[in-house]
A and B are shown apart, each in its own frame.
Chain A
Amino acid sequence: MTSFQPPAEINWWKSPIGKDEILWIGIALVWCLIMFFMMPYWHIYGKQNLSNEAYQTTPKKYLASVEAMVEKYKVGEEGGIPIVKPPVGSDVYLAGRLWQWYPILELEKDQTYRLHLSSLDWNHGFSLQPVNINLQVLPGYDMVISLTPDQAGDFAIVCNEYCGVGHHTMLGKIIVREK
């Protein structure tokens, strides 16, 4: 009589399905397909996508790229962290490490940069606030994103992947200036 007894029909897989179920399965399936095709659609027509560009690296190699950029384009310092103003369209290297985003970046509004992200030690989380873009940052992988800041102002990079007891002190900064 119930859900915990064997089915009443010997060949239950041949019993007809009720109207409510058929209709619901139809509606649900259409919705599932819409949701599926939204993702490729956004890759073609949407402006916010994660690139598929990434390279294997080592913390040592990555730090060398960061330091080279810092040395070339340093324009100041805040809280002991160098502020770097790389040229528009260039490769910009940002490193996460215990417990700092290094260096501080100064970018121009509405210009596109090739932002590299990697970690020098553990997992970190790049959480750009208050814009709210969140990316995973792994040691050994250099992820490249073409980023176009479309607001001017000071933005914080919160670390949102747990990285030990000083995790909450790990803040970085991106300064976006009007042209």
Chain B
Amino acid sequence: MGQFRQCPDSGFFFDKSAERLMKAHAVTAVVALLIAGVLALGVILTRWQSVHLLPADTFYTVLTGHGINGLIFWVIFFEIAVLYFASSTLLRCRLAAPRWAWAGFGLMLTGAVMNNIAVLSGKSSVMMTSYVPMQAQPHFYLGLILFAVGALIGCFVFLGTLVIAKDEKTYEGSIPLVTFGALTATIIAIFTIASGAIVLIPTFLWSIGYVSHIDAAMYRVIWWAFGHSSQQINVAAHVSIWYLLIGILFGARPMSEKVSRFAFLLYILFLQLASAHHILADPGISSEWKIFNTSYAMYLAVLASLIHGLTVPGSMEIAQRSKGLTKGLFEWLRKAPWGNPVFSGFFISLVVFGFIGGITGVVMGTEQINLIIHNTIYVPAHFHATVVVGTSLTFMALTYLLIPVLFRRQTFLPKIAQWQPYVFGGGMITLILFQLGAGTLGVSRRHWDMGFTGAALSFDYPGTAYMMMAVSGVGGVLAAVGGAMFIVVAVGSLIFGKKLEPSAGFLQSFALAPLAPDVYNIEQPDVLKRAEKLPVEEHGSSGFHAPGTFVLAMILMACFVVYYFINWDYLSSVWPMG
């Protein structure tokens, strides 16, 4: 019995312990997504003022659970699976320390369950951010700490696998770009988890009475070094997956290895400064610190994202053009496989992440502009563009690829899968745009009743704000339908999908189920070769390799500049202060 199997469709080699772990992490991630999605429906149907579904206490409980399951458990479980894929599978290497990896999984699972029990019991409705001195139950914090320790073990298993691959020479030359991006994500993750430990361990001790006082400002500074950086893990991870998907779908190679890797390096150096974005309107922190940190050191990490924004579609364009799709500026894009959810999911995610998530993020992360945006519903609108359409939809697209490749199942209800990215993406875009609008009108985030029932004083938001929240509610319901379509396809494929031979079996994702012995028939795969050298380069008439992408990038830049200055103009209209 060997250690590896080869997927006959994709050619990827799966180490058997890595395969089990990936399956376990991916399945658990989808369960967390299911919880987050069900709770999302409660949130959006309550914020839609004329529906106003839940009572106040339940709403805050549901909102807390929605945030933690969506932003932490779903993405990080999935990311650990991605790390094992990017190391073991891509480098054709056995996974380092599989027992440790299982211990990490066990800790993450225990932590996630523990935290969910604390939240869903209704006694830890403190929001994902759990700002002190509002206190949650001790097992709320302990659950997060255990989860983080488990994720940290996953990071070290990834690093260990890189060491083994190098040592056993399973690949030639430098690690592939996708693995390089995953390494970036891991380095950011270690920084993130360390910050989480620094803030959550004392907070846990405070919740059981061993520490008497946690400073409210200090908590916010360090918590966000954990909270925002964890979203930067997502960015590095989903950009890596974008490169992976264009490689698989189009045989694309990066426009330039040097440029793309340099951009990832900028992420490592500067993304963790993002803590500042959340404390721009806080007392006690100087403007110098805010300006330097919120701009990620003169926007060098934003520069990195702008670079990926060109090189990801640009690499795809070059690959498509080399196949003869050279007519005009956009034939390469028009004739892309829009009916394949792996592609459509990826591309919608790329566009929404760049055009909406990126631009709004930079605008509201500007020190002074933040004054007209801080804690309004503009903020969740922004991070739904980055994390939900950017990260989650990318993960969904990758899942459609993993169903046959990793799980060896035929996709269940492929028509539903085909429509899913459009329904989910369309719903989310509606929700995002209208919540951005409502936020600009001052509607608060994390707020049960924009009509202020029961308050001693009164205030009426303009009718437009109510209308916008209602339309965002419709978008949210549509997105929930799209989310449900994903769950039906993903779970349905594992249960009802036709088995593809050779198959290791679905139950194999649970460590105790026996392996299918004849599937693993390779002791060690051949060495992963360098990419072939390109023939002499051909240039278009203008000398551009990817003219269509360049035009799209210039449109992005134009939107960015216009929207940025519109917001300065809006800021200049509010009461003078200083």
Interface set of A (CB-CB < 8 Å, partner B):
1-10, 12-13, 15, 17-21, 23-25, 27-29, 31-33, 35-36, 38-40, 42-43, 46-52, 54, 56, 78-81, 100, 104, 117, 121-123, 125, 127-136, 138-143, 145-151, 156, 158-173
B55-98: contact bitstring with A at CB < 8 Å (1 yes, 0 no)? 01100100000000000000000000000000000100000000
Least CB separation from B368: chain A residue? A42
Q: Say yes or no: A5 contacts B577, CB within 8 Å.
A: no
**Chain A residues positioned under 8 Å from B300 (CB to CB):** 32
Least CB separation from B304: chain A residue? A28
Task: Choose one: A40, A123, A125, A133; the contact of B134 (CB below 8 Å).
Answer: A123
Q: Say yes or no: A6 contacts B528, CB within 8 Å.
A: yes
Interface set of B (CB-CB < 8 Å, partner A):
56-57, 60, 90, 127, 131, 133-134, 171-179, 215-217, 220, 243-244, 246-248, 251-259, 279-284, 286-287, 291, 295, 298-300, 302-303, 306-307, 310-311, 314-315, 362, 366-368, 370-376, 440-442, 444-450, 452-459, 461-462, 528-534, 543-547, 549-550, 553-554, 557, 560-561, 564, 568, 571-572, 574-578
Task: Choose one: B175, B256, B284, B444; the contact of A21 (CB below 8 Å).
Answer: B256
Least CB separation from A134: chain B residue? B374
**Chain A residues positioned under 8 Å from B367 (CB to CB):** 39, 42, 50
**Chain B residues positioned under 8 Å from A161 (CB to CB):** 131, 375, 446
Task: Choose one: A48, A142, A156; the contact of B571 (CB below 8 Å).
Answer: A48
Tally the A-B contacts, defined by beta carbons under 8 Å: 335
Q: Say yes or no: B283 contacts A48, CB within 8 Å.
A: no
Pull 25 A–B residue pairs with CB atoms less than 8 Å apart, ordered by A. Answer: A3-B176, A3-B252, A4-B244, A5-B530, A6-B174, A6-B176, A7-B173, A7-B174, A12-B174, A13-B258, A28-B303, A39-B366, A43-B368, A51-B577, A127-B444, A128-B575, A129-B461, A134-B376, A134-B442, A138-B283, A146-B578, A158-B444, A160-B447, A165-B56, A171-B455
Q: Say yes or no: B307 contacts A24, CB within 8 Å.
A: yes
List 7 A-B pairs, minimum CB-CB distance, nearest first: A143-B283, A156-B459, A79-B456, A32-B299, A3-B247, A2-B247, A160-B444
- CA A3 – CA B254 in complex, angstroms? 6
- Give chain B nearest CB distance to A15 CB in angstroms: 6
Supply 19 further A-B pairs (C-beta < 8 A) apart from A4-B243, A21-B255, A138-B283: A1-B253, A4-B176, A7-B174, A21-B314, A24-B307, A28-B307, A33-B299, A35-B366, A35-B564, A38-B568, A47-B576, A52-B286, A80-B456, A125-B374, A125-B444, A134-B374, A136-B374, A140-B215, A160-B376
Given contacts A47-B578, A122-B131, A162-B127, contact A6 B173 (CB under 8 A): yes
Q: Say yes or no: A24 contacts B457, CB within 8 Å.
A: no
Least CB separation from B571: chain A residue? A48
- Give chain B nearest CB distance to A86 CB in angstroms: 17
- CA A156 – CA B442 in complex, angstroms? 11
Q: Say yes or no: A171 contacts B176, CB within 8 Å.
A: no
Given contacts A4-B247, A8-B533, contact A130 B462 (CB under 8 A): yes
Q: Say yes or no: B575 contacts A131, CB within 8 Å.
A: yes
Contact residues of B: prevailing secondary structure: loop
**Chain B residues positioned under 8 Å from A5 (CB to CB):** 176, 253, 528-531
**Chain A residues positioned under 8 Å from B543 (CB to CB):** 19
Task: Choose one: B254, B375, B578; the contact of A160 (CB below 8 Å).
Answer: B375
- CA A42 – CA B300 in complex, angstroms? 21
- Give chain A nearest CB distance to B289 CB in angstroms: 10
Q: Say yes or no: A149 contacts B298, CB within 8 Å.
A: no
Q: Say yes or no: A171 contacts B366, CB within 8 Å.
A: no
Least CB separation from A138: chain B residue? B216
Q: Say yes or no: A3 contacts B60, CB within 8 Å.
A: no
Q: Say yes or no: B560 contacts A31, CB within 8 Å.
A: yes
Given contacts A1-B531, A43-B287, contact A15 B258 (CB under 8 A): yes
Q: Say yes or no: B257 contacts A25, CB within 8 Å.
A: no
**Chain A residues positioned under 8 Å from B447 (CB to CB):** 158, 160, 162, 167-168
Given contacts A15-B258, A165-B56, A173-B457, contact A134 B375 (CB under 8 A): yes
Q: Say yes or no: A141 contacts B283, CB within 8 Å.
A: yes
Q: Say yes or no: B251 contacts A1, CB within 8 Å.
A: yes
**Chain A residues positioned under 8 Å from B314 (CB to CB):** 20-21
- Give chain B nearest CB distance to A44 CB in angstroms: 11
- CA A35 – CA B549 in complex, angstroms? 24
**Chain A residues positioned under 8 Å from B251 (CB to CB):** 1-2
Q: Say yes or no: B56 contacts A7, CB within 8 Å.
A: no
- Give chain A nearest CB distance to B553 CB in angstroms: 6
- CA A48 – CA B224 in complex, angstroms? 25
Q: Say yes or no: B572 contacts A48, CB within 8 Å.
A: yes
**Chain B residues positioned under 8 Å from A128 (CB to CB):** 575
**Chain B residues positioned under 8 Å from A42 (CB to CB):** 367-368, 568
- CA A51 – CA B281 in complex, angstroms? 10
Q: Say yes or no: B247 contacts A147, CB within 8 Å.
A: no
- CA A168 – CA B372 in complex, angstroms? 20
- CA A129 – CA B455 in complex, angstroms? 15
Q: Say yes or no: B546 contacts A133, CB within 8 Å.
A: no
- CA A146 – CA B576 in complex, angstroms? 8
Q: Say yes or no: A24 contacts B442, CB within 8 Å.
A: no
